[in-house]
Amino acid sequence: MKRILIIGSGDVAARALPWLTRRFKVFALVRRAEHADALRSAGAVPIVGDLDDRRSLKRLAGLADAVLHFAPPPAQGEGDPRTRALLAALGTAGSLPQALIYISTTGVYGDCGGQWVDETRPCRPQSARARRRVAAERLLRAFGRRSGVRVGLLRAPGIYAAERLPLERLQRGDPVLAAEDDVATNHIHADDLARLACAALFRARGGRVWNAVDDSCLKMGDYFDLVADAFALPRPPRLARTQIADHLSPMTLSFMAESRRLDNRRMKRELRVALQYPTVADGIRAALQRRVTA
């Protein structure tokens, strides 16, 4: 494996690039030419193209030995035409990559009533956003079975990092659910997710799925309290489910409608990555240390 193609050159991709560029020739799809310089500075070769424009993807065929697919589906609709366009662009037998790793979401499980969930649980997505992810997963797994490409799916929950903590929300005083109504929530640090994706390139078996989550076991309100206490901010007010709808956006409310605790034993056993931030508390401590030394 010598050449890696990244689709979706966002935050997680940026965290994977230092490790990847030391070992491989890395290509990265970028929608706008003005963003290409940043990728060059990080050691990648930018490919200007748009998953919403199939004609712009012609250069992808036969380009790489493996693909890291980090791009989300469109914000509207039930399917994922972007993943469909990518798979069509990758080529045919003889030019296809050996492996393709996709970052999906644990939202595909839907509400599980706070139960423990492993990768054998059927997908029962409740939001249109999660249904689009299920559609992408199905396209990718069918592609893998048809082509022989090793496709692996990392289902990620709430991704956080020092730059991705809910500090503005805490400063606004947005409420969270009262303890009796609260939901179980799950997390992964963006650095660890990037490392898991890189490991999966080599350790994935075809069609395999992993819950890419840390060891935290938190209710959502407890997570916000933890961040608030660490950064000396007021804890968010707690409201009953019947009261909170008037104070939050529909998207935020959708996250409060689902509760599950995710089992990460398969991830640890098969991908063999020691998490740098095993719990949210570890990640918050690191974020505070960065603030002190900045």
Q: How far apart are CA 13 and CA 236, in angstroms?
A: 32
In this structure, which CATH number among 3.40.50.1370, 3.40.50.720, 3.40.190.10, 3.20.20.480 belongs to the domain 3-159+188-213+261-276? 3.40.50.720
Collapsing DSSP states into helix, strand and coil, what is residue 286?
A: helix
Q: How far apart are CA 257 and CA 274, in angstroms?
A: 31
Residue with tokens 């009262």: 178
| Tens digit of each residue's pLDDT (9 = 90 or more) over 139-158 | 999 999 999 999 999 999 99
170 touches 224 (CB < 8 A): yes
| Tens digit of each residue's pLDDT (9 = 90 or more) over 245-294 | 999 999 899 999 999 999 999 999 999 999 999 999 999 999 998 877 76
Give the pLDDT score at 94. Answer: 79
Q: Please, is 41 exposed, middle or buried when counting C-beta atoms within 10 Å of its C-beta (0-12, 13-18, 19+)? A: exposed
156-192 in b/e form (b: 16+ CB < 10 A) is bbbbbbbeebbeebbeeebbbbbeebbbbbbbbbbbb
| Segments in the chain below pLDDT 50 | none
Give the pLDDT score at 92. Answer: 79
H/E element holding 245? none
- For residue 157, which of 226, 68, 218, 100 has the smallest C-alpha distance? 218
Q: How far apart are CA 1 and CA 271, in angstroms?
A: 18
Give the pLDDT score at 294. Answer: 61
